[in-house]
Structure 1
Amino acid sequence: MIVVGISAHYHDAACAIFLDGRLVAAAQEERFTRRRYDATIPARALRACLHEIGAGIGDVEHVAYYEDPVARCDRILSAGTPSAMPPDAGRPLREIRDRLGYAGPVTTVRHHEAHAASAFYCSGFPDAAVLTADAVGEWATTSYGSAGPEGISTFEEVRFPHSLGLLYSTLTAYLGFEVNSDENKVMGLAPYGRPTFVAALSELIHQLPEGQFELDARYFDFTDPSRMYTDALSDVLGIPPRPPDAPTEGAHTDVARSLQVVLEDVLLEKARHLFRVTGNPRLCYAGGVALNCVANARIRQDGPFAEMFVQPAAGDAGGSIGAAALAHHRLTGGFRAERLVDARLGPSYDTTELAHALQAAGVPFSDHCDDQHGPISQTADMLAAGAVVGWYQGRMEFGPRALGARSILADPRDPGMRDRINDLVKKREAFRPFAPSVAAERTAEFFDFHGSSPFMLDTAQVRRPADLPAIAHVDGSARLQTVDAAVDPRFHALLTAFAARTGFPILLNTSFNLRGEPIVCTPGDALASFVRCGLDALVIGNLILRAADVPPFWASAVDQVAPIRPRGVSGDIYSFG
């Protein structure tokens, strides 16, 4: 049985495919349209994912949509919140029929059910407590429940406008960053500051008994999507909002740090409440707030749960997984308790066409199709010598992190590497850290971390930060990916080869894209980004292309054949969709 889950019409549209109860494919629409956060119905993503498993739309037996459109429209109209498009409860079903060409049965699940299911059905747990925290679903913003053989059961929720996601996004806007894009910048900025605004920010959110909390309406204006806050926020903080292009100063870093502390404290208290009610030692956690890896680490370390699982696309894209999994369980009465350990769920591409194109253009490259170890050895040599390498291998990752399939890699020992990549490649703020990927069996040698972190959703302290300056944040932490040889033997082999040359089975790993564009999808996308962004070499499968061999005129020509597209238009304002 093929069941497809769809998330769309808010931001970051995606699809997921379950085949006989097993997750076999998932991808975000932005990767194919090249419009970041594209919210349109994921027609291209679904076509690619179906092709990957050798199926067509006629083979799909059921489609599940990741929220209740009627309840969502009711909230938008009842609360008077703004919408980029007029609320239309019939639009999801209509576009699933018209744009996907699907004529079979369609069901909807509640938004927080989809989030909770996305974590539980990928956790491998037989049963678990479930926590969901995001901006807002239909009405729920935080929900508490349990999951097991009978499915997902919610026993308590916090409702709009009281929302941890909206709290964090409001302060993101106040600090001059873009909502639904730059919350991770606030998290990255926080370690530079001091928690001097904790008392002030605590005025914004009031802890209530059990799982409840309230935002103080004096400080928020969710009818104004241009800023989301009132002038009273400036009064309580004692500083004006930061203009988007202004420098970040001490007060801004202190607000970021204080916001992170407040978020973590609330999440910890609510996690403890969930544990008291359920008594279950296993936690499944999802929603956009679950992408805050610093808070995740705090819940793991200081929370009451013995085990915790967060799936790689914890935000709305991952709702497609939950919708499909929940629909399959309800249709068949059974589910597979299988742990998701590999986020490479998107399509793969043949590199033959690229090789032919390079040959026709007279561009030198090396092809190691008969020598699988050749690309590993040569890439390790280049990285150890200080090169920055685009690494494109196999199926594309699902979720916001590059995990060794669509990555930019570099030497973490080089103290100048962070600035070099920021200035020449990523063109982003200098305060933002880069993440390390490490061979799983040697993690504890270099990081204060035990267990696995395959999706970069945890932070850990670097044991010798002076040895790894390119990936150690200002507080000595790092957002960690552990790479298991049984899961990704090729990436693990590269880490091992780099260790043979340097003693460190660790590489700086950042997403393969320029600022403002999605992570690359096809070999053509990778070649275009490689030409644009000043990498030293590109490794696509078994092909190696060096920057010195690229014709100079390609730098201007690439803008004609593969222009960077503007950000996708969301189906609704982020804060309220």
Structure 2
Amino acid sequence: MLAVLEAERFTRKKKQWSNRAGFEALLQLALDETGYTFDQVTHWSGSAMGNVLLSHEQRRCDWTTETTIRLFGTDVPFLAVNHHLAHAASFFASPYDSAVVDACDGGGDGRQHVAYHAQRWQGGARIRELSDVDTGAFTGVFYDVCSFYLYDRYCQEGKFMGLAPYGEPDDAAIAWLSARVDRFSTQPHEVSYAELHERFGIDRFDVDDPRCANLAKNVQTVFEAERVKQLAAVGDLDGNIVLSGGSALNIHANTAIRERFPDSSVYVAPCCDDTGQAIGALLYQANVLLGVNPKVPLPFIGLGSRRPEPEVTDAQAERVVADLLDNRVVAWHWGRAEIGPRALGHRSLLCAPFTDAHRQLVSEKVKRREAYRPVAPVLLTDRRGEWFGGGWESPYMLFADQATPTTVHKAAAVVHVDGSARIQTIDDDHVLGKILRLLDQATGVPMLINTSLNGPGEPIVQTHEQTLAFCAGQPDVVPYLEGERR
């Protein structure tokens, strides 16, 4: 796989869908970036749902549809792929030869949750739906509805998840919500909002109103239990599980699944949500229909500088560590962008993790985020057992782990109120590996705060100019472009 472009990185509007002109502009940018011409492309594929290149009838695709689309004034053959099937095809980016694939989100192509079994072998692959699995009506819609009720805005699930640990469990509320999971997943949203208001009586979100945090806590508790129940319904898990769809961004639900099935290996792609739709369609076409198993060098396959030097120099790493120990926030812009919604070390804001004041600096002062939202640690994989109880690898920041007393004492900034952290584990060959080794030598702490390089309501930055613009007027932030301090 050569390049992945996410429209929002270029339009600078989060979750913006492209029109035809926008699609063609992105496609031309991808062709220019990779050195190919339009005439050299032999196959085209994409998700069916919401695709403006397709007719409305073609967008309602149950599996795949071979059709024709018009690009750059030319008719070309096109494979339209069902929304959840495209999610499931993230299996082909995993290290597995076979797995159960769970695709769960807030909607798409008429369904919200589908279970599959996927396999691949030399020269071939297949995905089949597990139609005999009773997945129930429960979907990510339940979580969407509850978070919208609290915030009166869409796409607030991340904030909702961050607020949940501040709440108190309520058995009566959990029972009430559990009894309405399927209903909230299927009935008109306005009806669900009315029922929630009648039960919880929250007129508007107020971080100081304990009812808000309590609602988030109890919804999160139900969501995790239902996600585990969905996987348990599959039966034979084949040793490997792939989680896909927007619900796989819920790190605590992912962690609950990993804990419930300790004998299974669990994989979540960094683009498990709709940012991975195009990748999934392409991987399905390549693996299943063409018998080709392309390498997918996740996660750094966005656009960006292709440096001749493969790593940070000693002098650059030393300067970064000096800035971090001087209580600066480092705006780190390196090479090709990571894909998906989580910054993983190429478009990141980095900060020392030692005290809660460091969290306040990077999260509240620099990014202007709510105080209750956690920040994530990036740490060296071979040191994870000392700092976190589970000792799991988590390269894409999609699992939580419990902090050890050492972490609470020495890296308080990354520990959430419930003692958890949304960890990212990296090896020495990662661009931040040398920086973490030097920081460890200097302080005994092999981790940093790592949060996305963007302001409130903005997508992650794409270009050098955007990084410099973010840093302008922020004396606490030091930009590093391709390892060089600016």
CA distance in 1, matches of 2:424, 2:12: 26
Residues 161, 243 of structure 1: CA spacing in aligned structure 2 closer, same or farther, 3 A cutoff? farther
Cα distance per residue 1:95-152 (max 9 Å; x no partner): 9634x6664210111111100002x101121111111100111112111120013411
The 3-state SS of whatever aligns with 2:418 is coil
- The structure-2 alpha-carbon separation of the partners of 1:56 and 1:491, relative to structure 1 and needing over 3 Å to count, comes to farther
C-alpha displacement of 1:304: 6.0
Residue 533 of structure 1, CA deviation: 4.5
- The aligned residue for residue 221 of structure 1 is 188
- The one of 340, 346, 349 equivalent to 2:302 is 346
Deviates most, 130-139 or 43-52: 43-52
Distance 1:47 1:505, change over 3 A: farther
**Equivalent residue for 1:301?**
259
Deviation, structure 1 residue 305:
4.9
Please list, as runs of the form range in 1=range in 2, the aligned pairs for 1:40-51 lying within 5 A after superposition. 40-41=18-19, 42-51=23-32
* Counterpart mapping for 1:477-496 below 5 A: 477-486=420-429, 488=430, 490-496=431-437
Kindly report which structure 2 residues correspond to 1:170-189, keeping only aligned pairs within 5 A, or say none: 170-176=145-151, 178-180=153-155, 182-189=156-163
Correspondence for 2:482 among 537, 541, 545: 541
Higher mean C-alpha displacement, 283-292 vs 49-58: 49-58
Q: Pick closer, same or farther for the CA change 1:329–1:417 going to 2, 3 Å.
A: same
Determine if the alignment matches structure 1 residue 321 to structure 2 residue 279. yes
For 1:203 and 1:371, locate their aligned partners in 2 and report how far apart those are by CA, in whole Å.
Answer: 54
Higher mean Cα deviation, 129-138 or 447-456?
447-456
Per-residue CA deviations over 1:273-316 (Å, capped at 9, x if unaligned) read: 11x1x441111110000000111011001136511111001111
Secondary structure of 2:35 counterpart: coil
- Whichever residue aligns with residue 167 of structure 2, its letter is G
Classify the secondary structure of the residue corresponding to 1:24.
Answer: coil
**Normalised by the size of structure 1, how large is the TM-score?**
0.75
Alpha-carbon separation, structure 2, partners of 1:112 and 1:320: 12
Partner of 2:242: 284
Moved more, 142-151 or 286-295: 142-151
User: How far off is 1:264 after superposition?
Assistant: 0.8
CA distance in 1, matches of 2:69, 2:473: 36
Q: Does 1:518 align with 2:479?
A: no
Amino acid at match of 1:383: L
**1:25-44 equivalences in 2 (<5 Å):** 25-41=3-19, 42-44=23-25
Q: Does 1:53 align with 2:53?
A: no
Say yes or no: does 1:509 pair with 2:445. no
Amino acid in the other structure paired with 2:375? F
Cα distance between partner residues in 2 of 1:309 and 1:160: 20
Partners of 2:363 and 2:375 within 8 A in 1:
no
* Equivalent residue number for residue 231 of structure 1: 194
Shift of 1:27: 2.5
Structure 1 residues 443, 242: CA separation in 2 closer, same or farther (over 3 Å shift)?
Answer: farther
Q: Which residue of 2 aligns with 1:88?
A: 56
2:219 corresponds to which letter in structure 1? L
The structure-2 alpha-carbon separation of the partners of 1:305 and 1:54, relative to structure 1 and needing over 3 Å to count, comes to farther
Q: Which residue of 2 aligns with 1:474?
A: 417
Report % sequence identity: 30
Q: Structure 2 CA distance, aligned partners of 1:281 and 1:433?
A: 32
- Partners in 2 of 1:286 and 1:91 — Cα distance? 21
2:118 corresponds in structure 1 to 147
Spell out, residue by residue over 1:297-336, the C-alpha distance to the aligned partner (whole angstroms, 9 max, x if none).
1100113651111100111111111100001123323435
- Aligned residues of 1:272 and 1:304 also touching (Cα < 8 A): no
Deviates more, 1:381-390 or 1:51-60: 51-60
Whether the aligned pair in 1 keeps the contact of 2:228 and 2:257 (CA below 8 Å) is: yes
The question of 1:24 aligning with 2:2 is answered yes
Quick one: structure 1 residues 351 and 65, their matched pair in 2 at CA, closer, same or farther if it must change by over 3 Å?
closer
Contact 2:140/2:246 (8 A) holds in 1: yes
2:201 paired residue number: 240
Larger RCO, structures 1/2 (Cα 8 Å, 6+ apart): 1
Q: Which runs of 5+ in 2 are unaligned?
A: 61-65
Give deviations 1:41-94, integer Å, cap 9, x for gaps: 544443443333322333222111213569xx9xxxxxxxxxxxxx93468999
Query: TM (normalized to structure 2)?
Result: 0.89
Closer, same or farther: CA 94–104 of 1 in aligned 2, 3 Å? closer
Q: Which residue of 2 is the match for residue 255 of structure 1?
A: 215
1:83 corresponds to: none
Cα displacement (A) at 1:25: 2.1
- 2:287 alignment partner, SS class: helix
C-alpha distance in 2 between matches for 1:447 and 1:139: 40
Matches of 2:415 and 2:153, distance apart in 1 = 25
| Equivalent residues of 1:425, 1:534 under 8 A apart | no
1:529 alignment partner in structure 2: 470
Go from structure 1 to structure 2 and tell me whether the alpha carbon gap of 1:67 and 1:160 turns closer, same or farther (over 3 Å shift).
Answer: farther
Of 418-427 and 475-484, the range deviating more from structure 2 = 418-427
Question: How far apart, CA to CA, are the structure 2 residues paired with 1:139 and 1:160?
Answer: 15
| Contact 2:207 2:213 (8 Å CA) reproduced | no
Q: Relative to structure 1, is the Cα distance of residues 202 and 445 closer, same or farther in structure 2, using a 3 angstrom cutoff?
A: same
Alpha-carbon RMSD: 3.0
From 123, 128, 134, the counterpart of 2:99:
128
Q: Which runs of 5+ in 1 are unaligned?
A: 1-22, 74-86, 206-213, 353-367, 546-577
8 Å Cα contact 1:135-1:163 kept in structure 2: no
- 3-state SS, counterpart of residue 285 of structure 1: strand
Alignment match, 2:372? 431
Compared with structure 1, are the counterparts of its residues 96 and 195 closer, same or farther at alpha carbon in structure 2 (3 Å cutoff)? farther
| 2: CA distance, partners of 1:144 / 1:467 | 42
The question of 1:269 aligning with 2:244 is answered: no
Label 1:302 to 1:25 Cα distance change in 2 as closer, same or farther (>3 A).
Answer: same
Q: Does the 8 Å contact 2:164/2:213 carry over to 1?
A: yes
The answer to whether the 8 A contact 1:221-1:230 is kept is no
Residue in 1 that maps onto 2:382: 441
2:70 alignment partner in structure 1: 97
